[in-house]
Amino acid sequence: MARPRIKDVARRAGVSEKTVSNVINDYAHVSERTRTAVREAIDELGYRVNLAGRHLRRGRTGIIALVVPELDIPYFADLAALIITEAERNAMTVLVHQTREDRRRELAALEGFGSDFADGLILSPLTLTGTDLRDRPGAPPTVLLGERVRPGQADHVAIDNERAAREATVHLLELGRRRIRVVGGREGTEPGTAEVRSAGHRAALEAAGLPWDPAVLLRVENFRALDGALAVRRLLEAGEQPDGLLCLNDQLALGAMRELHDRGLRVPEDVAVVGFDDVEGGRFSVPSLTTVAPDKHAVARVALELLMVRIAERDARTAGAPPRERVVAHRLLVRESTAGAGSRA
């Protein structure tokens, strides 16, 4: 009982294979009679399209590869959820890869995993450099998220990270905080999110006439709660007394808050904490977390939009337009971790 093929359906309905194909693909000029006859044959046999055959013939897979560092970091999970939903709306299916911070995996992703699996690629890079993005013959259309690798190498969607960090810092400064630390530097990576956000932080300080010291950037191993907690522990054990923390994602912030709690420091009274990403955990934590909320829906929507355009261009063998840069909105959600007792956003 092998699966039925178009051939079987055709025989059963008494038409040609192409006619069956036409019915399946809603081709206009099929009479109502034959259309129903074919539909019936399909139902009776339980026929389902073989996508391998279709892909081979059409030259498109209908698959988008999404590459994120780790899916179990809530921000990426949120993003993936939205992208999958958005892709579906574009009749695309999403295949997810994790780089687990591995540079080789990111490069492999860029190359299309040594194959041409996907029609397009959405990539949230951590370690890639500008040069990695040049000259990728045969690589699929690509949209980068988040980090501004270097302008002009590929389509890119992100919030204005520098401005966001500046606003967050201004917020802390307005609360009178002067000993602010930034949590989330990475070792040995190219200028990435951390550096851009650091620059925003610095700009805010300098605009306020305050000095800036590169040492305020605390390094972390990863972007999980544990890393935030460890960073704060090291800081406090070194005898420092911060009164504000700008954490480069919410997980770091939540870990930091837990560590502060354990050491008897109150948030926000002793230390005000700001995060990035607006994940669910920060909305229900005690205290709830002030955060820079990117418009994630927009990120997903715009990413798909850019990608679908590129894919269409490629199909049409149109000359590729220059890389497109898209900035999506963000806003600072002020919650208890900086505002004192307040309501949940």
C-beta closer to a second copy: residue 189 or 251: 251
3-class secondary-structure state, position 143: strand
CA dist., res. 246 & res. 135, Å (int): 37
- Using DSSP's 3-state secondary structure scheme, residue 192 falls into coil
DSSP secondary-structure letter at 216? G
Amino acid sitting at position 176: G
Contact footprint for a second copy (CB under 8 A): 1, 3, 46, 48-53, 55-56, 59, 61, 63, 70-72, 74, 77-78, 80-82, 84-85, 93-98, 100, 111-117, 137-138, 224-226, 229, 251, 254-255, 257-258, 261-262, 280-281, 283-286, 288, 344
* Sole binder of DNA in the list 36, 44, 58, 221 (CB under 7 A): 58
Q: How far is CA 22 from CA 6, 25, 26, 339, in A?
A: 11, 5, 6, 62
CB of 169 to a second copy, least distance (A): 24
50 sits near DNA (criterion: CB under 7 A): yes
3 binds DNA (CB under 7 A): yes
Instruction: State the minimum distance, in angstroms, from the CB of residue 237 to a second copy.
Output: 17
Task: Say whether residue 241 binds DNA (CB under 7 A).
Answer: no
- CB of 111 vs a second copy, minimal distance in Å: 8
Nearer to DNA (CB atom), residue 12 or residue 301? 12
**Under the criterion CB under 7 A, does residue 153 sit at the interface with DNA?**
no
Which residues, listed in sequence order, are joined to residue 333 by a DSSP beta bridge?
291
Rounded CA gap, 178 and 174, in Å? Answer: 9
Q: Please say whether the beta carbons of 268 and 336 come within 8 A.
A: yes
Interface with DNA in residues 94-133 (CB under 7 A): none
DSSP state of 214: G
Q: Which of residues 8-27 bind DNA (CB under 7 A)?
A: 14-22, 24-25
Residue 204, C-beta contacts closer than 8 angstroms, at least 6 positions apart = 165, 166, 167, 169, 170, 173
225 binds, among a second copy, DNA, none (CB under 5 to 8 A by kind): a second copy
Burial annotation 28-61 (CB, 10 A radius, 16+ → b, else e)? eebeeebbebbeebbeebebeeeeeebeeeeeeb
Indicate which of a second copy, DNA, none lies near residue 325 (CB less than 5 to 8 Å, by partner kind).
none
Binding positions for DNA, 208-237, rule CB under 7 A: none
Considering the complex, what minimum distance in angstroms separates the CB of residue 135 from a second copy? 10
Contact residues for DNA (CB under 7 A)?
Answer: 2-3, 5-7, 14-22, 24-25, 28-31, 33-34, 49-50, 52-54, 56-59
